[in-house]
Amino acid sequence: METLSVPAVKKTDVEEFTSSIEKQLTSASPAERDEAVSLQAPDSEDVKPQAHRSEVVGTLPGWVLSLRAYTVALKNLENIPREKKEQHLSRILAGWSKLILYACIVFKNVIEKRRLQIGDLNLELDFPAKLDARFLRMFFLMIPVYTSDVMRRDLGSQKLSLQLKNDGLAKSLSDQFLQTSVYADLKLPEYINRLKAFQKKSSGSHIFLEILLLKMREIFLRLGLQDNEQLPFLALAAEISADIKGLEGEERTQEIHRYTNELRRLGHVNKLRDMQ
Protein backbone atom coordinates (compact mmCIF):
# COMPACT_ATOMS: atom_id res chain seq x y z
CA MET A 1 0.00 0.00 0.00
CA GLU A 2 2.77 2.43 0.94
CA THR A 3 4.48 1.93 -2.42
CA LEU A 4 1.46 2.32 -4.70
CA SER A 5 1.43 5.39 -6.92
CA VAL A 6 -1.55 7.72 -7.09
CA PRO A 7 -2.46 10.46 -9.57
CA ALA A 8 -0.19 13.46 -9.12
CA VAL A 9 -1.69 16.75 -8.04
CA LYS A 10 -0.58 20.35 -8.19
CA LYS A 11 0.34 22.37 -5.13
CA THR A 12 -2.92 24.28 -5.47
CA ASP A 13 -4.81 20.97 -5.40
CA VAL A 14 -3.09 20.00 -2.13
CA GLU A 15 -4.06 23.35 -0.63
CA GLU A 16 -7.63 22.87 -1.85
CA PHE A 17 -7.70 19.41 -0.25
CA THR A 18 -6.51 20.64 3.16
CA SER A 19 -8.76 23.70 3.01
CA SER A 20 -11.82 21.58 2.30
CA ILE A 21 -11.06 19.40 5.34
CA GLU A 22 -10.44 22.53 7.39
CA LYS A 23 -13.92 23.84 6.59
CA GLN A 24 -15.63 20.51 7.18
CA LEU A 25 -14.04 20.05 10.59
CA THR A 26 -15.96 23.03 11.94
CA SER A 27 -18.57 24.24 9.50
CA ALA A 28 -20.83 21.21 9.70
CA SER A 29 -23.77 21.79 12.02
CA PRO A 30 -25.30 18.81 13.88
CA ALA A 31 -28.02 18.64 11.22
CA GLU A 32 -25.44 18.64 8.43
CA ARG A 33 -23.45 15.92 10.19
CA ASP A 34 -26.60 13.83 10.51
CA GLU A 35 -27.23 14.25 6.79
CA ALA A 36 -23.65 13.23 5.97
CA VAL A 37 -23.91 10.16 8.17
CA SER A 38 -27.27 9.20 6.67
CA LEU A 39 -25.59 8.95 3.27
CA GLN A 40 -23.33 6.21 4.62
CA ALA A 41 -24.37 2.60 4.95
CA PRO A 42 -26.10 1.85 8.28
CA ASP A 43 -24.19 0.03 11.01
CA SER A 44 -26.62 -2.86 10.89
CA GLU A 45 -29.11 -4.03 8.35
CA ASP A 46 -32.11 -6.29 8.64
CA VAL A 47 -31.17 -9.76 7.50
CA LYS A 48 -33.85 -11.30 5.30
CA PRO A 49 -33.73 -14.74 3.69
CA GLN A 50 -33.44 -14.70 -0.07
CA ALA A 51 -35.58 -16.95 -2.20
CA HIS A 52 -32.80 -17.07 -4.77
CA ARG A 53 -29.14 -17.18 -3.81
CA SER A 54 -26.92 -15.66 -6.46
CA GLU A 55 -23.86 -17.60 -7.52
CA VAL A 56 -20.58 -16.39 -6.06
CA VAL A 57 -18.07 -15.75 -8.81
CA GLY A 58 -14.41 -16.29 -8.04
CA THR A 59 -12.64 -16.77 -4.72
CA LEU A 60 -12.36 -13.14 -3.57
CA PRO A 61 -15.99 -12.75 -2.38
CA GLY A 62 -15.68 -15.92 -0.32
CA TRP A 63 -12.37 -14.75 1.11
CA VAL A 64 -13.89 -11.41 2.14
CA LEU A 65 -16.88 -13.18 3.69
CA SER A 66 -14.55 -15.45 5.66
CA LEU A 67 -12.50 -12.46 6.83
CA ARG A 68 -15.61 -10.67 8.07
CA ALA A 69 -16.85 -13.81 9.84
CA TYR A 70 -13.44 -14.22 11.50
CA THR A 71 -13.53 -10.57 12.57
CA VAL A 72 -17.02 -10.77 14.08
CA ALA A 73 -16.10 -14.01 15.84
CA LEU A 74 -13.17 -12.35 17.60
CA LYS A 75 -15.39 -9.52 18.81
CA ASN A 76 -17.73 -12.03 20.43
CA LEU A 77 -15.09 -14.33 21.92
CA GLU A 78 -14.82 -13.14 25.52
CA ASN A 79 -13.43 -16.19 27.30
CA ILE A 80 -10.14 -16.71 25.47
CA PRO A 81 -6.76 -15.64 26.89
CA ARG A 82 -5.42 -12.19 26.07
CA GLU A 83 -2.48 -13.66 24.16
CA LYS A 84 -4.85 -15.56 21.88
CA LYS A 85 -6.91 -12.44 21.27
CA GLU A 86 -3.76 -10.58 20.28
CA GLN A 87 -2.71 -13.31 17.87
CA HIS A 88 -6.10 -13.31 16.20
CA LEU A 89 -6.28 -9.52 16.07
CA SER A 90 -2.86 -9.34 14.43
CA ARG A 91 -4.01 -11.75 11.73
CA ILE A 92 -7.27 -9.87 11.26
CA LEU A 93 -5.44 -6.56 10.83
CA ALA A 94 -3.19 -8.19 8.23
CA GLY A 95 -6.24 -9.58 6.44
CA TRP A 96 -8.01 -6.23 6.21
CA SER A 97 -4.74 -4.64 5.07
CA LYS A 98 -4.63 -7.12 2.21
CA LEU A 99 -8.21 -6.19 1.37
CA ILE A 100 -7.17 -2.52 1.12
CA LEU A 101 -4.26 -3.50 -1.12
CA TYR A 102 -6.44 -5.64 -3.38
CA ALA A 103 -9.05 -2.87 -3.64
CA CYS A 104 -6.39 -0.29 -4.55
CA ILE A 105 -4.87 -2.57 -7.18
CA VAL A 106 -8.29 -3.29 -8.67
CA PHE A 107 -9.06 0.44 -8.73
CA LYS A 108 -5.75 1.20 -10.46
CA ASN A 109 -6.26 -1.53 -13.05
CA VAL A 110 -9.85 -0.51 -13.74
CA ILE A 111 -8.80 3.10 -14.36
CA GLU A 112 -5.92 2.08 -16.62
CA LYS A 113 -7.67 -0.68 -18.59
CA ARG A 114 -11.22 0.72 -18.34
CA ARG A 115 -12.38 -2.82 -17.83
CA LEU A 116 -13.41 -4.94 -14.86
CA GLN A 117 -13.27 -8.71 -14.93
CA ILE A 118 -15.02 -10.78 -12.24
CA GLY A 119 -14.64 -14.46 -12.95
CA ASP A 120 -16.18 -15.09 -16.36
CA LEU A 121 -17.90 -11.69 -16.31
CA ASN A 122 -16.09 -9.02 -18.33
CA LEU A 123 -17.37 -5.45 -17.97
CA GLU A 124 -16.32 -2.66 -20.32
CA LEU A 125 -16.44 0.70 -18.51
CA ASP A 126 -17.33 3.82 -20.46
CA PHE A 127 -15.22 6.49 -18.75
CA PRO A 128 -14.66 9.99 -20.14
CA ALA A 129 -11.57 10.29 -22.32
CA LYS A 130 -9.86 12.42 -19.66
CA LEU A 131 -10.49 11.72 -15.99
CA ASP A 132 -10.05 14.35 -13.28
CA ALA A 133 -6.86 13.52 -11.36
CA ARG A 134 -8.26 15.14 -8.20
CA PHE A 135 -11.34 12.91 -8.30
CA LEU A 136 -9.25 9.80 -8.88
CA ARG A 137 -6.92 10.68 -6.03
CA MET A 138 -9.77 11.33 -3.62
CA PHE A 139 -11.47 8.07 -4.61
CA PHE A 140 -8.20 6.20 -4.08
CA LEU A 141 -7.61 7.78 -0.67
CA MET A 142 -11.13 6.93 0.47
CA ILE A 143 -10.59 3.19 -0.05
CA PRO A 144 -8.68 2.69 3.26
CA VAL A 145 -11.09 5.03 5.08
CA TYR A 146 -14.14 3.11 3.89
CA THR A 147 -12.45 -0.22 4.63
CA SER A 148 -11.68 0.91 8.18
CA ASP A 149 -15.33 1.87 8.61
CA VAL A 150 -16.52 -1.60 7.56
CA MET A 151 -13.95 -3.19 9.85
CA ARG A 152 -15.15 -1.01 12.72
CA ARG A 153 -18.67 -2.36 12.32
CA ASP A 154 -17.42 -5.95 12.45
CA LEU A 155 -14.76 -5.55 15.14
CA GLY A 156 -15.62 -2.43 17.13
CA SER A 157 -15.90 -3.39 20.79
CA GLN A 158 -14.53 -1.79 23.92
CA LYS A 159 -13.78 -5.31 25.14
CA LEU A 160 -10.77 -5.26 22.79
CA SER A 161 -9.41 -1.94 24.07
CA LEU A 162 -6.25 -3.51 25.53
CA GLN A 163 -5.47 -5.37 22.34
CA LEU A 164 -6.14 -2.30 20.20
CA LYS A 165 -3.52 -0.40 22.24
CA ASN A 166 -0.84 -3.04 21.69
CA ASP A 167 1.63 -1.51 19.22
CA GLY A 168 3.30 -4.86 18.64
CA LEU A 169 0.37 -6.35 16.74
CA ALA A 170 0.58 -4.25 13.57
CA LYS A 171 3.14 -5.49 11.06
CA SER A 172 2.75 -2.72 8.49
CA LEU A 173 1.64 0.89 8.22
CA SER A 174 -1.68 -0.32 6.80
CA ASP A 175 -2.17 -2.54 9.86
CA GLN A 176 -1.36 0.40 12.13
CA PHE A 177 -3.84 2.64 10.32
CA LEU A 178 -6.64 0.10 10.77
CA GLN A 179 -5.78 -0.52 14.42
CA THR A 180 -5.65 3.21 15.14
CA SER A 181 -8.87 3.83 13.21
CA VAL A 182 -10.90 1.30 15.18
CA TYR A 183 -9.52 2.68 18.45
CA ALA A 184 -10.41 6.23 17.44
CA ASP A 185 -13.82 5.23 16.05
CA LEU A 186 -14.69 3.87 19.49
CA LYS A 187 -13.31 7.03 21.11
CA LEU A 188 -11.43 4.95 23.63
CA PRO A 189 -9.32 6.75 26.27
CA GLU A 190 -6.65 9.06 24.80
CA TYR A 191 -7.70 8.24 21.25
CA ILE A 192 -6.32 11.57 20.02
CA ASN A 193 -2.88 10.56 21.29
CA ARG A 194 -3.22 7.36 19.27
CA LEU A 195 -4.00 9.42 16.18
CA LYS A 196 -0.98 11.60 16.91
CA ALA A 197 1.24 8.54 17.32
CA PHE A 198 0.15 7.28 13.91
CA GLN A 199 0.87 10.70 12.43
CA LYS A 200 4.47 10.38 13.58
CA LYS A 201 4.77 6.83 12.25
CA SER A 202 3.44 7.87 8.85
CA SER A 203 5.53 11.04 8.59
CA GLY A 204 7.40 9.54 5.65
CA SER A 205 4.23 8.56 3.80
CA HIS A 206 2.38 11.45 2.19
CA ILE A 207 -0.46 9.11 1.21
CA PHE A 208 -1.15 7.96 4.76
CA LEU A 209 -1.08 11.51 6.08
CA GLU A 210 -3.87 12.40 3.66
CA ILE A 211 -5.75 9.21 4.56
CA LEU A 212 -5.42 10.06 8.26
CA LEU A 213 -6.83 13.55 7.72
CA LEU A 214 -9.78 12.08 5.82
CA LYS A 215 -10.32 9.58 8.63
CA MET A 216 -10.40 12.39 11.18
CA ARG A 217 -12.96 14.18 9.03
CA GLU A 218 -15.09 11.02 8.99
CA ILE A 219 -14.87 10.69 12.79
CA PHE A 220 -15.88 14.32 13.21
CA LEU A 221 -18.87 14.03 10.87
CA ARG A 222 -20.08 10.81 12.47
CA LEU A 223 -19.44 11.50 16.14
CA GLY A 224 -18.75 15.22 16.56
CA LEU A 225 -16.40 16.55 19.24
CA GLN A 226 -16.83 17.19 22.94
CA ASP A 227 -15.59 20.54 24.25
CA ASN A 228 -12.49 18.95 25.80
CA GLU A 229 -11.65 17.21 22.51
CA GLN A 230 -11.84 20.18 20.17
CA LEU A 231 -8.51 21.89 20.79
CA PRO A 232 -6.22 18.80 20.64
CA PHE A 233 -8.20 17.31 17.74
CA LEU A 234 -8.03 20.49 15.67
CA ALA A 235 -4.39 21.08 16.59
CA LEU A 236 -3.53 17.63 15.27
CA ALA A 237 -5.46 18.33 12.07
CA ALA A 238 -3.42 21.52 11.70
CA GLU A 239 -0.13 19.64 12.09
CA ILE A 240 -1.15 17.03 9.52
CA SER A 241 -2.20 19.77 7.10
CA ALA A 242 1.21 21.42 7.43
CA ASP A 243 2.95 18.07 6.90
CA ILE A 244 0.90 17.37 3.78
CA LYS A 245 1.93 20.74 2.37
CA GLY A 246 5.56 19.87 3.06
CA LEU A 247 6.20 22.87 5.30
CA GLU A 248 9.17 22.98 7.66
CA GLY A 249 10.62 25.18 10.38
CA GLU A 250 9.07 28.56 11.03
CA GLU A 251 6.82 28.28 7.99
CA ARG A 252 5.34 25.07 9.39
CA THR A 253 4.81 26.64 12.83
CA GLN A 254 3.06 29.65 11.31
CA GLU A 255 0.82 27.42 9.21
CA ILE A 256 -0.17 25.36 12.27
CA HIS A 257 -1.04 28.53 14.20
CA ARG A 258 -2.99 29.92 11.25
CA TYR A 259 -4.86 26.66 10.66
CA THR A 260 -5.68 26.18 14.36
CA ASN A 261 -6.84 29.76 14.82
CA GLU A 262 -9.01 29.54 11.71
CA LEU A 263 -10.59 26.30 12.90
CA ARG A 264 -11.26 27.79 16.32
CA ARG A 265 -12.70 30.95 14.77
CA LEU A 266 -15.03 28.94 12.55
CA GLY A 267 -16.01 26.84 15.54
CA HIS A 268 -16.94 29.91 17.58
CA VAL A 269 -18.95 31.29 14.67
CA ASN A 270 -20.88 28.05 14.38
CA LYS A 271 -21.60 28.02 18.11
CA LEU A 272 -23.03 31.53 17.83
CA ARG A 273 -25.18 30.40 14.91
CA ASP A 274 -26.50 27.46 16.93
CA MET A 275 -27.48 29.81 19.77
CA GLN A 276 -29.54 32.05 17.50
pLDDT at 265: 74
Instruction: Return the pLDDT at 45.
Output: 47
What are the extents of the domains in the chain? 17-26+59-275
pLDDT of residue 56: 42
Specify the pLDDT at position 158.
87
Per-residue pLDDT, 50 = 45
Q: How far is residue 90's CA from residue 218's CA, in Å, rounded to a whole number?
A: 24
Contact (CB, 8 A) for 7 and 133: yes
Q: What is the pLDDT of residue 157?
A: 86
Gap between the Cα atoms of 213 and 215, Å rounded: 5
Per-residue pLDDT at 177: 96
Per-residue pLDDT, 255: 84
Q: What does the pLDDT profile of the chain (276 residues) look like in tens digits?
A: 555 545 555 556 556 665 665 565 655 455 555 555 455 544 444 444 444 444 444 677 889 999 999 999 999 888 899 999 999 999 999 999 999 998 888 888 788 777 776 666 676 777 777 777 788 888 889 999 999 999 999 998 888 899 999 999 999 999 999 999 999 999 999 999 999 999 999 988 889 999 999 999 999 888 888 888 988 998 899 899 888 888 889 998 988 888 778 777 766 545 444 434
pLDDT score of 115:
76
